[in-house]
């Protein structure tokens, strides 16, 4: 079956008892057992829940994995991966990653004796150089947040595996509608389901998808032991969101691409970071590993100072000033003071997250209205 058919039908079978076309929402926290010490498929909702299973089944199918695990947030999903590691283990991570992931790696995982090196993984040679005998995990984000850098997934998998490390890919920005990292050799795909999977700014969730059953079982053990699972209501909403994932992401990507081209020619714009533009250094790799669009996130730098950047992001009306992304509503933010405020200032500067960057999450609105909104903001900064 094609992607969009699986998004609607896999995991969403009609209810055999009532014939309900949409599977029921199971809010139960616990399930009666056949006998003391005897277990049915479900016993307690931390360990498993039918609505969570439905979401996991659909997502595993969309990513081409053997199984998926749903978490309370994207950060809970990534935390589960780091909680599999032991003191002395080393992570090599891309330098263009979400601020919360940076914080988890540097300020939480480090307490358990895990060390992290951030490198620019857009050049595979940097990854190769940063790996040590203690490296157990390579963690990349592509497209990266917030600079939309592109890392070659297949090349990263080859390097990680040659050194006995796992490759984890935070594929939140691409979503399975555009990129399927497991098909390119990754071991773990991570999503903030809060974003494109849900797609409507009304749920918080995360997910891991793997292609190896043993790894799935290890991650499940940690998930069940630590308990950061996605709630049934959120799973229900995420399943509903995924039914339109392909349509939303393709349409939003088209709008983002056109806005990127328009912004690139704008006299008040210094540079535009969008992998669909030929001038983007990762364009060729993006063409290879993204299919159906280059995503609906775009970042640009205003010709102006910090105050003008701040004024710009505070001047739009349709683009809401907020962190998060991936929904039908367009959003705008300043990474340095918002999504990436948890970076140490020195690391922000080192990794190119300048005060002048503006990040757009392009939604499903008409492009003409979004453009008008930005035109007004450009006018405001020169007032």
Contact residues toward ligand P1T (CB under 6 A) are 73-75, 98, 100-101, 141, 145, 170, 172-173, 192, 194, 204, 206, 323-325, 339
Q: Tokens 């990436």 sit at which residue?
A: 340
376/284 Cα distance (integer angstroms): 34
105/91 Cα distance (integer angstroms): 8
Cα distances from 18 to residues 22, 23, 31, 58, in angstroms, run 10, 10, 20, 21
104/8 Cα distance (integer angstroms): 34
Q: Are 102 and 128 in contact (CB under 8 A)?
A: no
User: Which residue lies nearer to ligand P1T by CB, 160 or 332?
Assistant: 332
**317 assigned to active site:** no
153/124 Cα distance (integer angstroms): 10
172 closest CA partner among 151, 152, 189: 189
Rounded least distance, CB 77 to ligand P1T, Å: 8
Q: Percentages helix, strand, coil for the chain, rounded to the nearest 5?
A: 40, 15, 45
Residue of 89, 170, 196, 274 marked catalytic: 170
User: Which residue lies nearer to ligand P1T by CB, 73 or 252?
Assistant: 73
Rounded least distance, CB 9 to ligand P1T, Å: 26
Q: Computed from CA positions of residues 311, 317, 319, 321, in that sequence, does the dihedral angle turn out positive or negative?
A: positive
User: Which residue lies nearer to ligand P1T by CB, 11 or 100?
Assistant: 100
Rounded least distance, CB 382 to ligand P1T, Å: 28
User: Which residue lies nearer to ligand P1T by CB, 82 or 192?
Assistant: 192
User: Which residue lies nearer to ligand P1T by CB, 100 or 181?
Assistant: 100
**136 assigned to active site:** no
Tokens of 270: 């210094």
* SS3 category, 298: strand
Q: Which residue minimizes CB distance to ligand P1T?
A: 74
Rounded least distance, CB 8 to ligand P1T, Å: 24
User: Which residue lies nearer to ligand P1T by CB, 6 or 191?
Assistant: 191
Residue of 26, 96, 98, 102 marked catalytic: 98
Rounded least distance, CB 172 to ligand P1T, Å: 4
Residue of 4, 44, 46, 355 marked catalytic: 46
Rounded least distance, CB 49 to ligand P1T, Å: 19
Cα distances from 16 to residues 21, 22, 30, in angstroms, run 10, 11, 21
Rounded least distance, CB 35 to ligand P1T, Å: 39
186/286 Cα distance (integer angstroms): 16
Rg (the chain; Cα; Å): 21
* Count of residues making up the chain: 383
**78: Cβ contacts below 8 Å, ≥ 6 apart:** 101, 104, 139, 170, 190, 206
Tokens of 327: 């929904």
Q: Are 357 and 338 in contact (CB under 8 A)?
A: no
**98 assigned to active site:** yes
**53 assigned to active site:** no
Residue of 53, 195, 216, 359 marked catalytic: 195
Question: Residue 23 half-sphere exposure, CB side, CA atoms within 13 Å?
Answer: 24
User: Which residue lies nearer to ligand P1T by CB, 42 or 119?
Assistant: 119
Q: Are 121 and 140 in contact (CB under 8 A)?
A: yes
Catalytic site positions: 46, 98, 170, 195
């Amino acid at each position: 079956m094609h992607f969009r058919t699986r998004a609607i039908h896999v995991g969403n079978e009609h209810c055999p008892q009532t014939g309900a076309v949409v599977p029921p929402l199971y809010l139960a926290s616990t399930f009666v057992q056949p006998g003391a010490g005897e277990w049915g498929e479900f016993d307690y909702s931390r360990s498993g829940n039918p609505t969570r299973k439905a979401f996991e089944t659909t997502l595993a199918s969309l990513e081409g994995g053997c199984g998926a695990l749903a978490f309370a947030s994207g950060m809970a999903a990534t935390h589960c991966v780091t909680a599999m590691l032991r003191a002395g283990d080393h992570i090599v991570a891309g330098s263009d990653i979400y601020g919360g992931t940076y914080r988890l790696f540097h300020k939480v995982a480090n307490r358990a004796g895990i060390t992290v090196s951030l490198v620019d993984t857009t050049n595979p040679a940097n990854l190769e150089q940063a790996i040590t005998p203690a490296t157990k995990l390579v963690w990349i984000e592509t497209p990266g947040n917030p600079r939309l850098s592109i890392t070659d997934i297949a090349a990263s998998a080859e390097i990680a595996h040659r050194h006995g490390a796992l490759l984890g890919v935070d594929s939140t920005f691409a979503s399975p509608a555009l990129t399927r990292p497991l098909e390119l050799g990754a071991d773990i795909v991570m999503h903030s389901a809060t974003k494109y999977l849900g797609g409507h700014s009304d749920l918080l969730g995360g997910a891991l998808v793997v292609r190896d059953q043993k790894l799935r079982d290890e991650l499940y053990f940690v998930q069940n032991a630590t308990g950061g699972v996605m709630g049934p209501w959120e799973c229900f909403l995420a399943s509903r969101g995924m039914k339109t994932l392909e349509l939303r992401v393709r349409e939003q990507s088209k709008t983002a691409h056109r806005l990127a081209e328009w912004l690139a020619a704008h006299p008040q714009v210094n540079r535009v970071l969008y992998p669909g533009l030929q001038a983007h250094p990762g364009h060729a790799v993006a063409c290879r590993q993204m299919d159906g669009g280059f995503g609906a996130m775009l970042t640009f730098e205003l010709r102006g100072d910090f105050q003008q950047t701040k004024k710009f992001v505070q001047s739009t009306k349709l683009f809401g000033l907020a962190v998060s992304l991936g929904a039908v509503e367009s959003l705008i933010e300043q990474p340095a003071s918002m999504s990436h405020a948890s970076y140490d200032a020195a690391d922000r500067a080192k990794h190119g997250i300048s005060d002048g960057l503006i990040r757009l999450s392009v939604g499903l609105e008409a492009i003409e209205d979004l453009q008008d909104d930005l035109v007004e903001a450009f006018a405001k900064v020169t007032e």
